[in-house]
Amino acid sequence: MVIDKFIDEIEFGLKILFSPSSSKRPRPDKKILNKEDLNSEVKKKHAQLMRVNHSGEICAQALYRGQLLFNKDKSIEKSLQKAANEEIDHLAWCEERIDELNGKTSLLNPILYIGSIGIGGIASIIDKKYNLGFLVETEKQVSSHLDKHLIKLSKYDVKTKKILEQMKFDEHQHEISAKELGAAELPKPIKKVMGITSKIMTTLTYKI
């Protein structure tokens, strides 16, 4: 049973990391005409920003899988699974937009996935409330990054803007759902460590 679960996780991880993701929902920018006046410099910058967001979604997917590993609460499982499914949409949107901007996804994604699934697994063992609290803090930090990226976007890149706005809305909904299920606020030292780790991740994936 444990071996089967372990094999399933390996297969899922390989699929997320090395196969194109497909979304169940249409892209938020679907109705926007594909007439963009972006120079090569802007495209490069926006592709790098989307690469950071894509890596963030890789981490989120791994965190959710880790949090589900040892969870026995059905209500939490349902919430985490819903969030994970929406994160796959985000993953697909980011991949497609990076490709349109002639960019590439981060080479660090496999390392980030392994580290994140381990962190999620630890969170699921500790306590139900803190497992959810970890989710809340993660979504807060993701939303903060998205806000910063939205400010940095060229006003002419409406397609990327629409994608990031929908992602931000979804992340906020995940945060609300976790709070409604009884999420506990994480201690300040843990929040600080998460913030530092996040900053390192975003800096590295922007470049690599």
Give tens-digit pLDDT for 13-56: 778 887 778 788 889 988 787 667 788 899 999 999 999 999 98
- Domain made up of 38-207: CATH architecture: Up-down Bundle (1.20)
1 has a pLDDT exceeding 60 = no
pLDDT in tens, 179-199: 888 888 888 888 888 888 888
pTM (2 decimals)? 0.88
pLDDT digits (tens, 9 = 90+) for 83-115: 778 888 999 999 999 999 999 999 999 999 898
- The full set of domain ranges for the chain reads 38-207
SS3 (DSSP) at 26 = coil
101: which residues sit within 8 A by CB, 6+ positions away? Answer: 38, 43, 44, 46, 47, 50, 160
**Alpha carbon 54 to chain centroid, angstroms:** 7
CB 171 within 8 A of CB 139: yes
pLDDT score of 169 more than 90: yes
At residue 47, the pLDDT reads 94
